[in-house]
Chains A and B, each alone.
Chain A
Amino acid sequence: MLLHEKTAIITGTNRGIGLATLEAFAANGAKVYAHARRETPDFLALINDISRMYGIEIWPVCFDLTDYDAMKQKMKEIAASKRSIDILVNNAGAVADSSSFLMTSVEKMKAVFEVNFFAQMALSQYVARMMMRNKRAGMSIVNVASAAGIDGDPAQVEYSASKAALIGATKKLAIELNGYNIRVNAVAPGVTDTDMVSAMDEGLMRRTLEKTVMNRKAQTGEIAGAILFLASGLSSFMTGQVLRVDGGM
């Protein structure tokens, strides 16, 4: 039970890496505020099943990450609940349709940055302030970046750049929040088997995977394992780091 007595907020838990992370956290004893964009019956049933399976509490927290008023309202509700938050996983992220740099409008770049960077910063500000007030030991923020944020490939410019920005912020936040017992790290997954890569060009997918030692996509649980490690006390001497989970690039 790596996260016994811990309470986490995880964004984008309705599918993909976020869902696998929710399961990994639940299996390790964490109580979780499970974020999704929309509070659908399917989502509520999903978290209810996970909650029962592992015997832990999961509370839905639903808002579009680009709706700052809704984010503020939900954070106020969490603050009012007086539950101490120990962990934030900034997982939710977006990718735009494929296009080359010269064919990408600045507006489109801004839209991706809004989800992958600015919303994560706004949420991290709220949650870090709640964490600071708790004054608990072993608090952790984990940002889900991407190998593309380091390598520039295989995603588009705005996606790679937004993840590079998140990596930069990870390093700076690690310095600024260290005094409050909050570690800040990032994972940089390679190609992972989720909806996000389902529309990826087949040739690009093959060439990308062939560059890796393992020559396959990651399963979501393999990324969740790295997130769990960075969230838990197992990584207590790590902050400001970017952990590549990429099948060996």
Chain B
Amino acid sequence: MVISNLEKYKNCFVEAFALADGAQAESLKYQSIQEWDSVGHMALMALLEDNFGILLDTDDIIDFASYEAGKEILRKYDVAM
């Protein structure tokens, strides 16, 4: 089964923050839940880098403030969703 970039993206949130399902990820912002603190943030970044085979710029890690903002940032790395 081919899994879309959007699914992969959501799954990173599910795994990083131990969410019940991907739908919960869509409204998330940095520090909007306990799990998305600075440690959780770096875990999410590591999962995204692993899953999409990219190395994020430090500025993009800092700007990655929400689920939606992250989609825009990944576009810069040719990850279309």
Select one of A72, A126, A133 contacting B50, CB under 8 A: A133
Q: Which residues of A contact B50 (CB under 8 A)?
A: 133
Given contacts A122-B58, A125-B58, A80 and B53 within 8 Å (CB-CB): yes
B55 touches A132 (CB 8 A): no
Contact A129–B45 (Cβ < 8 Å): yes
B39 touches A79 (CB 8 A): no
Residues of A within 8 A of B58 (CB): 122, 125-126
In chain A, residues 111-130, which have Cβ atoms closer than 8 Å to a Cβ of chain B?
A: 122, 125-126, 129-130
A218 near B: Cβ within 8 Å? Answer: no
From 156 to 202 in chain A, residues with beta carbon under 8 angstroms from any chain B beta carbon are 179
A contact patch SS: helix
Chain B residues whose CB sits within 8 angstroms of the CB of A122 once the complex forms: 58
Complex: chain B residue closest to A130, CB-CB: B55
In the complex, the answer to whether A133 meets B53 with C-beta atoms within 8 Å is: no
B55 lies within 8 A of A75 (CB): yes
Q: B49: CB under 8 A from chain A?
A: yes
Q: How large is the interface on B (under 10, 10 to 19, 20 to 34, 35 or more residues)?
A: 10 to 19
Q: Which chain A residues border B54 with CB–CB below 8 Å?
A: 76
A-B contact pairs, 5 of them (CB 8 A): A76-B54, A122-B58, A126-B55, A132-B46, A179-B39
In this complex, what residue of A is CB-closest to B53? A80
Interface digits, B42-53 against A, CB 8 Å rule (1 contact, 0 not)? Answer: 100110011001
A126 to B50, CA, bound (A): 14
Chain A: interface residue total (CB-CB under 8 A): 13
Q: Specify which of A72, A79, A125, A179 is in contact with B49 (CB 8 Å cutoff).
A: A79
Within 8 A of A (CB), among B26-59: 39, 42, 45-46, 49-50, 53-55, 57-58
B13 to chain A, nearest CB (A): 17
| Cβ contacts under 8 Å, A75 to chain B | 55
Report how far A126 CA is from B59 CA in the complex, Å.
12
